[in-house]
Amino acid sequence: MSDLFDLSGKVALITGGSRGLGLEMAKAFAQAGADIVIASRKMEACEAAAAEIRALGRRAFPYSCHVGQWSALEGLVEASYREMGRIDVLVNNAGMSPLAPSSAETSEELFDKIIDVNFKGPFRLTALFGPRMVAAGGGAIINISSTGAIRPQPRFIPYAGAKAALNAMTVGFALEYAPKVRVNGIMAGPFLTDISKAWPAEARERAHNALGRPGQPREIATAALYLGSTQSSFVTGSVINCDGGVI
């Protein structure tokens, strides 16, 4: 895999990179030769993830940051360039998908929090990193979306809307930063991350998709490596499904 998706000499920043899909992508990028910036809310978790990256023989920079807070994101950008010198791949992975009892019982605070983390933060980070990547001659940005964007259901409508906005943002930024920076997305289906521990037992074993099961976190790695490497040099503005064939 590291030969096919060679990221030697590159630096990747993954938000929400301390666990779940983010950590799996961070480890996959490191195994392909990249140094990694791990950004997440809890510094202790960032440090633990960074230790795993260093154990793979790569440099790792942990940074505590709430991506839903607009004013905190410039600090992440500046610290990342100061510590690592460059950022070649940005993965906007941090997200949250709390369920509400009903739409009428969704508070403004919860609504804003969902939009902030799933859309506002990725928008701001892409707007900050994109021009620097253009000036450096190239880069790749990957937005982790959800099949909820195209199959919304009651109880998570704000989340579905935020991910639909993320898909639209992917296309818009691909046009803004072309031809030097490619911007793509991965529309993830059900994965057995920490969130799945709260699912009913049946949902952890079966899924409404062609494969009939949820995905293992490692199964997103190849899609991310493809979009982050030069193997996808003619792909931008695309959102790839990684969902087991959601029906």
Count of domains observed in the chain: 1
Report if residue 5 sits inside a domain: no
81 has catalytic annotation: no
Report if residue 175 sits inside a domain: yes
Q: How far apart are CA 82 and CA 246, in angstroms?
A: 42
Cα 40 from chain centre: 11
Report if residue 162 sits inside a domain: yes
What string of pLDDT tens digits covers the 247 residues of the chain? 447 899 999 999 999 999 999 999 999 999 999 999 999 999 999 999 999 999 999 999 999 999 999 999 999 999 999 999 999 999 999 999 888 889 999 999 999 999 999 999 999 999 999 999 999 999 999 999 999 999 999 999 999 999 999 999 999 999 999 999 999 999 999 999 877 666 678 878 889 899 999 999 999 999 999 999 999 999 999 999 999 999 7
pTM score: 0.95
Q: How far apart are CA 33 and CA 120, in angstroms?
A: 30
Q: Are strands 35-40 and 60-64 parallel, antiparallel or unpaired?
A: parallel
Task: Decide: 121 and 162 in contact? Cβ < 8 Å.
Answer: no
Q: How far apart are CA 29 and CA 25, in angstroms?
A: 6
Which secondary structure element, helix H or strand E, spans residue 15, and what is its range? Answer: strand 11-15
Report if residue 62 sits inside a domain: yes
Report if residue 1 sits inside a domain: no
- Domain of 82? 11-242
**Catalytic position from the list 63, 81, 159, 226:** 159
Report if residue 103 sits inside a domain: yes
Q: How far apart are CA 163 and CA 241, in angstroms?
A: 13
Report if residue 225 sits inside a domain: yes
Report if residue 104 sits inside a domain: yes
Q: What is the CATH number of the domain that holds 153?
A: 3.40.50.720
Q: How far apart are CA 65 and CA 39, in angstroms?
A: 6
Q: How far apart are CA 91 and CA 1, in angstroms?
A: 19
